Structure 1
């Protein structure tokens, strides 16, 4: 039996964060009922990448990933007020995941006070860019704005050209994925409360707050007064030779900040005679732009003749932080992922047979489960939760 077997989740969310939250709960055994607008479905159904690069119904790879193992029910989420059947749906649900505005929640009777009054045992989780009461200029923020207002923009990259547009950081929807995971953890914590009688919760997740909590020591140094608070993109520049370097078959990322890293590089590189001109602790005490440029030049010249997987293994054995920049093919071939059975080959009626990433963890007593995403409205007519009701 999976950890959340017997739990019913009503997913009203129409964005990446809420859908990823629902995916994580579905993998843990919850029955996730996804309500989608009739005819068009979730907006993520129209977001690529698409199978065969064709923007067509049921061809979105993003939707297929975010909605694995869910049930799709066509439902008019665009109505000014909820249909009559909505109350019956809430009575069947243990959890609701939402990502709409505070006004929408009020109109649908799902604001904190109304939900506590009408459904006191319901766990209702709201995921929005800046919380339910954001400043007017942040009501329609996307992940790019969330990322940079969280402080993580200082990581992209050190010494970036301030004359060019801001970078979005690692990953296409990093703030949404982080917020979705945070929301799932909060929901699980509430369901595991153990109190009798069980009391519902209203969880408000701000993507910005979640990302700010991931900002490691940069934000902490600013709060402590050890680093100037400035919009400059050079704030995170530690001045060292870290960076992405080309290899024979791709790229690797190298990070060096300590004497041990310098010694490991000395052992790794065949022709290291140029390193004799550098003091042992130059990165900490005598890190000049000239030394950084010379170091990067020699490292780059050597790495361009190496194979990324081989050099990654050799470097890490020496304690040097060097990792291959992997593509999807590399991940599928990864011995670690193969050992953990992270990718599962599954067949979808519209997308065909392909490998899907499964749960990023393995539980011994409550195993996770994986299934393909639903077609739009696939479960509208026959889902038990709607027995005796109507979807409009």
Structure 2
């Protein structure tokens, strides 16, 4: 009994931002029908290696990338460039609550699948468009990929090592940050529109843009600039507004300290055997520590070389100052806290008995997330979904003509 049980979503999106949104809605209980091109499907199906292996050890050519964003969906293969395919979408839309699409702005209008056309058939429809630049503006019709957006939106200017350090320069985030955050914002917008529909009885068009989201998620860095007029710099693993809040090297490996306030700094200094540091007039307050950043970091850095990272983490954890080791993904997935929170799950896939996946972080007490369907094979549910809107004879004809797969 998921929180969104009874909500039907038609997911016409590909790659990551839209599918990520659709997966979240599916995790929350919505019925999500993923509409894909026959024979080809979502672009990310071919974004391997790595590929999923079947139980007999063969590669399935189902890319891990695709599987990361398409759990809890039914796959229906429809060629929407054909008149017959467009009619199938219009039949499905009559009983659909939400449509997600990420085609270039205006490109679905030629198929009669734009918001105005479909809302005339179903005024309750919530239609979420996800593009790189939005539905208006000088770049609206251009494709927008996450990497480009991270650069244009300022994120890469504050990500990466300082220019005067070895390896300094702009860096993109290690995952598609703009895509993922746009998927999250889109999910929020869809749920807000569903709540509004409860009182008005009407759906609406949601216009989501990766660039808008990237600008919004500059957060404190954006306001730092707007407040001061100073363009933020890259600090590598340090923080623009908090000191010490960065990576340090022990005698064996690196670890992180995130010291969020002055009392934590006092406890940190006491725990590591440098109580006099907290009494130094240059370092008592965070604002002073920012002013004398290099001095305090140099002292701490030299001191941390005298013990192992595990030893420092143990001492600092004891006084409840945020501290942690730097895990690779193997180590992260083995963290006892990660396992206790059930962030690794096994799902039964058509081609293998157990498919290990990353779980949902959403924990609801009364309507918990349910893992109903593993990422589907292309067109795996075409007949099951469409048999409710067309006859078996028509399905066979459409399949023979390549309209469905």
**TM-score (structure 2 length as normaliser):** 0.82
Which residues in structure 2 correspond to 1:33-48 (within 5 Å)?
Answer: 33-48=33-48
* Structure 1 residues 283 and 84: alpha-carbon distance in aligned structure 2, compared to 1, 3 A threshold: closer
Residue number in structure 2 paired with 1:30 = 30
Query: Where do 5+ consecutive residues of structure 2 fail to align?
Result: none
Q: Does 1:287 align with 2:292?
A: yes
**After superposition, what is the alpha-carbon deviation per residue over 1:181-230, rounded to whole angstroms, capped at 9, x for unaligned?**
11111112222235466201100111222232222222123223x13247
Query: Where do 5+ consecutive residues of structure 1 fail to align?
Result: none
Stretch deviating more after TM superposition (372-381 or 357-366) = 357-366
Residue number in structure 1 paired with 2:19 = 19
Residue number in structure 1 paired with 2:185 = 182
Q: Does 1:97 align with 2:100?
A: yes
CA contact 1:10–1:34 (8 Å) conserved in 2: yes
1:297 to 293, 298, 302: 302
**After superposition, what is the alpha-carbon deviation per residue over 1:223-270, rounded to whole angstroms, capped at 9, x for unaligned?**
23x13247x546974595543245688642223464334323323325
Residue number in structure 2 paired with 1:369 = 370
Which residues in structure 2 correspond to 1:126-165 (within 5 Å)?
Answer: 126-136=129-139, 139-157=142-160, 159-160=162-163
Stretch deviating more after TM superposition (288-297 or 156-165) = 156-165
Stretch deviating more after TM superposition (94-103 or 280-289) = 280-289
* Cα distance in 2 for residues equivalent to 1:144 and 1:59: 24
* Structure 1 residues 363 and 114: alpha-carbon distance in aligned structure 2, compared to 1, 3 A threshold: same
* Cα distance in 2 for residues equivalent to 1:38 and 1:165: 43
CA contact 1:70–1:374 (8 Å) conserved in 2: yes
1:382 to 381, 384, 390: 384
Q: Does 1:357 align with 2:361?
A: no
Stretch deviating more after TM superposition (344-353 or 26-35) = 344-353
Q: Match of 1:120, SS?
A: coil
CA contact 1:123–1:187 (8 Å) conserved in 2: yes
* Cα distance in 2 for residues equivalent to 1:52 and 1:194: 40
* Cα distance in 1 for residues equivalent to 2:382 and 2:93: 16
The Cα of 1:66 is off from its aligned counterpart by: 0.6
The Cα of 1:103 is off from its aligned counterpart by: 2.4
- Kindly indicate whether structure 1 or structure 2 has the higher relative contact order, using CA contacts under 8 Å at least 6 residues apart: 1
Stretch deviating more after TM superposition (240-249 or 144-153) = 240-249
Stretch deviating more after TM superposition (256-265 or 138-147) = 256-265
CA contact 2:347–2:357 (8 Å) conserved in 1: yes
* Structure 1 residues 342 and 276: alpha-carbon distance in aligned structure 2, compared to 1, 3 A threshold: closer
Q: Does 1:213 align with 2:216?
A: yes
Q: Match of 2:265, SS?
A: helix
* Structure 1 residues 52 and 268: alpha-carbon distance in aligned structure 2, compared to 1, 3 A threshold: farther
The Cα of 1:123 is off from its aligned counterpart by: 0.7
How large is the Cα RMSD of the aligned pairs? 3.4
**TM-score (structure 1 length as normaliser):** 0.84
**After superposition, what is the alpha-carbon deviation per residue over 1:106-134, rounded to whole angstroms, capped at 9, x for unaligned?**
12323343333233111100111221234
CA contact 1:45–1:63 (8 Å) conserved in 2: yes
* Structure 1 residues 202 and 322: alpha-carbon distance in aligned structure 2, compared to 1, 3 A threshold: same
Residues paired across the two proteins, number: 384
